[in-house]
Structure 1
Amino acid sequence: MDKIEHKKILHIYAQTIKIIARNILYLVIGQGILMAAAYFLLFPLVNEIVDITLKLTGYSYITVGNIDSFLLRPVTILMLLILFIIIGIFLTLDILFLITFFALTERGQKIKISILVKLTVYRLFYCLKKGRAAALITSWILAILSGIPFIFFSIWRFRILHYYMEAAPDGYLALAAILFIAGLLLFLYYVGPYYYHSLLTEKSGILAVSKKDILPHERRNLLISISGWNILLAGVLFLIYVFTMSMTALLVSGFTDRIQATATFIEVYDSMSVYLALIIFVFGITANMALISYTFHRYRKLKINGHEEAEGFFKPAYPYKKIIYFLIIALFSINFYYFYQVVRNGSALEYMNMEDIQVTSHRGYSHSVPENTLAAVSKAIAEKADYVEVDVRVTKDGEMVLLHDTSLKRTTGFNKYIWDVPYEQVSELDAGSWFGSEFTGTKIPTLRELFDLCKGQIKINMDLKYRNDSEELAQKVVALIGEYDMQKQCVITSTSIRCLKEVKEANPEIRTGYITYGIYTSLFGNDAIDFFSMKSNLVTKNIVNEVHRNGKKVLAWTVNTRSEVERLKRLGIDNIITDNPAYIREILQRDDSDKFLTTLLKVIKE
């Protein structure tokens, strides 16, 4: 490429940045509204479809080991097609909003929200009607083309994609990369990034702006421009990532407690990955559509039509404004309810095993606080554990309380079995002084008190200490979960499969885990077992692989040493139960592949 061509491409970049900046406030507001709609409307809908698919296919979890068989199920294929259409429509809406916005900006026309909305909605219906399936496919390809930095970030940060990249043979990865690049190049050559511009300028045919309109050197420059633009974009996004994480590290470094600072940083780092992925996608599609729109107007100098048609399109709707407003409000209300449920109780997408190894705080936070007490649970919440594990037993008069042993002697000094003592007497016992004088007066809490503390704060793993049917422990716990509407915030474990069956009979929505020293093939088909909780030193690679292949998870207890954490991490364990979650989280995040995070953690410590 000679100097003249190089200067032309730099000029294109400069002009693209100018049209982005010209009405940037409206651009940010518009994209913000669309992303909010995706967050509050699209995400809950996707979550419901995933939840329905899991139920219809009979899977408890989607793991690396079973995702192939899951995806090949007829029900899954149907649901994926539905998701392809729904997400494709949203992508089309976003792309057409950007095309409309940049077309108006290119003309120097004053941006009016009403005109922008009308044109975008009209063009959505027009393009879907005229392009049909080709329009949706093009939207997906344009999103992929614009989202290459987003794709790489997702592969790096999200577990199921990362594991697939590690597990796949190098030859397959190379072949997939070649096919991916070849597909994008074929799209750019035969269809072109101007597909929607072509439809909107009423130039018929899918090849309308490929061979006829773009000269070979223009096509070459366009490919070079898009490639270079995305490299620059990736650099900018990396700087945003560095800045965001550095600011987070700087803020938490002021914490007096080093462990809490580290735990807070890791928690923010994990949750920020989702938001950063969204930001990367928005940046990518916005910047690329700006470049494509600018080069279209530069090469073609054609006006995009639709102003008069958009006005005519909306006129028949005026008599039905009240009905339209009612439907919009109803749609937002329903989806906001589902979104609220997801935020409060968890998401079905969590069952797809996409996150890193989760950490469960054993018996509250038994490392430094008396076990199975509200103080221990509060400590687990403060230290950013993913789950808090507690033991549940029943008193003589049927009250559910947190207690591990059959006897009250070890933690309270009162030498009686819990089932022989009424709650009124249990509530007067001191369950803290045995651990340290500073905890004198700490009480044994009820399960209801635990729910009051944990609702919306932390997930709960309840180990039900099943004794006999007369206590009705499973039924009582399930009833309380239903009362608090915490089905997705709670999991139930037990050494008794009978107890787990009773839980499933009462509410099949609740996830149940079998606490065991060994896992046998016959257990995989048991509907009462969604996951296994196993003594850590008995967990092997074969066990983890076989459990994942059968769509279930493996939790390991009780892990407190660095060597065991590192071994379990290599095995691909799903959840580690520990007395000291902050310490375990710190070990888990010390990955040589992430030098930047390691450096920030060192800064925090110092």
Structure 2
Amino acid sequence: MKHFLRQTDEVIKWNLRQLVVFVILYRLAAGIFYIRAVNGLLRFSLSMAGYSYLTLGNLGAFLWHPFTLPCVALALMGGMVLVTVETAGLVTAFQASAYSRKMDLLGILGGAAVNTWDQIRRRNWQIFVASLGNYILMNSYLLARLLTKVKPVDFVLEEVLNLPAARLGLVILMTVLSAAAVPSMLVFWACMVEQKRFRDGLRRSTELLKGRWIKAVGALVCVNVLLMGGLMLLYGAAMALAAVLVTLFADSYAALAVLTAVCGKAEIILLFAGAVFAVILDFGALTVLYYRFSQSRREQEDSAKRYPVRRRTEAFMRIVPGRREIMRRWLLLFSGVLAGTAAFLIFDMAYNGMSSDWSVLGQTEITAHRGSSKMAPENTMAAIFKAMDEMADYCEIDVQTTADDVVVVCHDRNLKRVAGVDRLLTDMTFEQARSLDVGSYFGEEYAGEKIPSLREVLEACKGRIRLNIELKSLGEKSSLPELTAGLIKEYGMKDQCVVTSVSLEYLKRVKAADPDIRTGYILAAGYGSYYKNEFIDFISIRSSFVTRKMVEAAHENGKGVHVWTVDDRGEMKQMRLLGVDNIITDYPARAREVLYGDPGAKNLLEFLKMGLKHG
């Protein structure tokens, strides 16, 4: 085993930097393109099926819709092609390493393209299926972590894993899947290096592993255990560092919420890094196994100190020098365009947000009611910034219009409570409303806080926090729905904003202005089948009226469920167990602590606070 690990280390080191750059850039570029493409297919198939949201409740009916199956097949084929290209690039790079030869990024890209085209030309369609299966197996931990963030899969998994029989069944299932994958472990080298058809390649892989599969599996398990140990140490160190920084710099009331969010992001980064290094380690180990098993026993004895070289030239390297230079130029141009487009799409995703078509499959989200209204005056910029500090997913704001048709953020029509002025906001111009102080009533430190316009809020929140914009009911003649929809479109924030109202007519007008803007119907009571209305995408209802049956019925109809106003810790837990999609609360930091707080993180935070206090 020691000799195997040393050989694996050597073969990885030859092109490690280029491999890391290739895998990271390829996964970012291909991943962004794939997510966008799948999202487009999802939107199309959802619209054809007549749903607003994809939920676990309507998933079965959605999948059986005539337009859905072709879209799913297209997405699956696209995924198989993308993972096969990555596999081909890895085989190309490690084949060069087996020759003790350096390879640049363009060489890896060229080899990936040539090897993939060879599989298509020889009609090795099975290699694409094998590549997808291999990808799933190598990224199983990452995929398992992602599944635990899908609602209500996390609850189901927790219940299942508590049953001994279920745990045993899961072990048996994983054993069967792994056993099925073992014979095809070296098929990529047989097909891409030895240029075999898939059936012959599978036979070759089986022959090479005959009597050696225990050694091969043991070697792969060993390198992955070492990687997982390193990742766990890195995560512990990152968590400890984050706890120290949060203790020193974050507000005490939001410290645990910030730490929970930071640790969650750190986990995602480490999972991505782990997936990158896992595939490099696994392919490096498989390369060593392939060449070792391909040798005769005498050659193995003679190569104790030297990694074996198999005298076969990569397809990309067979290109004559003149044509190779032309191809390098084209590859350089293509990779530059690809990297630039990927960078733009990544920025766009981070700044404008992702589509919410499948948002109800994620964790229960948290909305700050009128901003963080217990920490700052409601519906002000200060409250919105506090909601960001408390790691809220959404900030709920109320909007209405002034006499000169400027959309402003304010809950009360009469300003006496928040500004001490007994006048209706709709009777004042924006400049008159802007001159009022709506912060002093909350505390002296907020004296001079102004009523913000919706335009000002959109500018401040774009790329930072999503908005739940409630339209106050101002009568049929009000242009509030159209003005609000127009501002959301102007700022390109349709994926960052939802619009809610107690008026179905207002929501209908918003949909008429732009069908892609998400709308929610605010209900005081849970009677009737409002979730079946075509002009709403979710219902927003008082928490005391929510039942599991109502949530299931809404989800079956492709609608989300938001609940208000949930401030009690026990009720927060109850809403999460009911499977609601969004909790609207005056205490977003508390909600994040209750719903997703890690006891270990809380204990570490308390320990650090105690140490700093007595230090």
Deviation readout 1:169-196 (Å, 9 max, x if unpaired)? 967886566445323312323x333334
1:245 matched to 2:252: no
* Structure 2 gap segments, 5+ residues each: 296-308, 611-615
Aligned equivalents of 2:266, 2:53: Cα separation in 1: 24
Report the CA distance shift for 1:382/1:213 in structure 2 as closer, same or farther (over 3 A): closer
Deviation readout 1:74-132 (Å, 9 max, x if unpaired)? 33322222222222222112222222222222222233444433323211211333353
Aligned equivalents of 1:58, 1:338: Cα separation in 2: 28
**Deviation, structure 1 residue 374:** 1.4
**Deviation, structure 1 residue 357:** 1.9
Report the CA distance shift for 1:505/1:104 in structure 2 as closer, same or farther (over 3 A): same
Q: Which of these residues, 212, 221, 225, is aligned with residue 207 of structure 2?
A: 212
Amino acid at match of 1:296: Y
Q: Which of these residues, 161, 174, 186, is aligned with residue 180 of structure 2?
A: 186
**Deviation, structure 1 residue 221:** 2.0
Report the CA distance shift for 1:425/1:150 in structure 2 as closer, same or farther (over 3 A): closer
Aligned equivalents of 1:327, 1:353: Cα separation in 2: 37
Q: Which of these residues, 472, 483, 494, is aligned with residue 465 of structure 1?
A: 472
TM normalised by structure 2 equals 0.88
Report the CA distance shift for 1:561/1:200 in structure 2 as closer, same or farther (over 3 A): same
SS of equivalent residue, structure 2 residue 499 = strand
1:82 matched to 2:77: no
User: 1:252, 1:604 within 8 Å by CA — same for their partners in 2?
Assistant: no
Report the CA distance shift for 1:463/1:349 in structure 2 as closer, same or farther (over 3 A): closer
Q: Which of these residues, 347, 353, 361, is aligned with residue 354 of structure 2?
A: 347
Alignment of 1:230-309 (within 5 A): 230-255=224-249, 257-301=251-295, 303=310, 305-307=312-314
**Aligned-residue RMSD, C-alpha:** 2.9
Aligned equivalents of 1:53, 1:138: Cα separation in 2: 27
Report the CA distance shift for 1:359/1:214 in structure 2 as closer, same or farther (over 3 A): closer
What is the aligned-residue identity percentage?
A: 30
**Deviation, structure 1 residue 163:** 4.2
Q: Which of these residues, 479, 482, 505, is aligned with residue 512 of structure 2?
A: 505
1:201 matched to 2:194: yes
**Deviation, structure 1 residue 561:** 1.7
User: 1:50, 1:349 within 8 Å by CA — same for their partners in 2?
Assistant: no
**Deviation, structure 1 residue 305:** 4.0
User: 1:157, 1:273 within 8 Å by CA — same for their partners in 2?
Assistant: no
**Deviation, structure 1 residue 363:** 0.9
Number of the residue aligned with 1:117: 109
Report the CA distance shift for 1:35/1:437 in structure 2 as closer, same or farther (over 3 A): same
Report the CA distance shift for 1:472/1:518 in structure 2 as closer, same or farther (over 3 A): same
Q: Which of these residues, 549, 554, 560, is aligned with residue 553 of structure 1?
A: 560
Number of the residue aligned with 1:137: 129
TM normalised by structure 1 equals 0.89
Deviates more, 1:411-420 or 1:168-177: 168-177
**Deviation, structure 1 residue 31:** 2.2
User: 2:500, 2:522 within 8 Å by CA — same for their partners in 1?
Assistant: yes
User: 2:247, 2:605 within 8 Å by CA — same for their partners in 1?
Assistant: no
Amino acid at match of 2:268: V
SS of equivalent residue, structure 1 residue 390 = strand
Number of the residue aligned with 2:60: 68
Q: Which of these residues, 439, 443, 453, is aligned with residue 446 of structure 1?
A: 453
1:162 matched to 2:154: yes
Aligned equivalents of 2:244, 2:530: Cα separation in 1: 48
User: 1:261, 1:604 within 8 Å by CA — same for their partners in 2?
Assistant: no
Number of the residue aligned with 2:305: none
**Deviation, structure 1 residue 522:** 2.9
Aligned equivalents of 1:123, 1:496: Cα separation in 2: 59
Number of the residue aligned with 1:27: 19
SS of equivalent residue, structure 1 residue 208 = helix
Deviates more, 1:125-134 or 1:492-501: 125-134
Report the CA distance shift for 1:461/1:109 in structure 2 as closer, same or farther (over 3 A): same
Number of the residue aligned with 2:45: 53
User: 2:415, 2:424 within 8 Å by CA — same for their partners in 1?
Assistant: yes
Alignment of 1:370-385 (within 5 A): 370-385=377-392
Amino acid at match of 1:194: V
Deviates more, 1:119-128 or 1:291-300: 119-128
SS of equivalent residue, structure 1 residue 513 = strand
Aligned equivalents of 1:308, 1:444: Cα separation in 2: 67
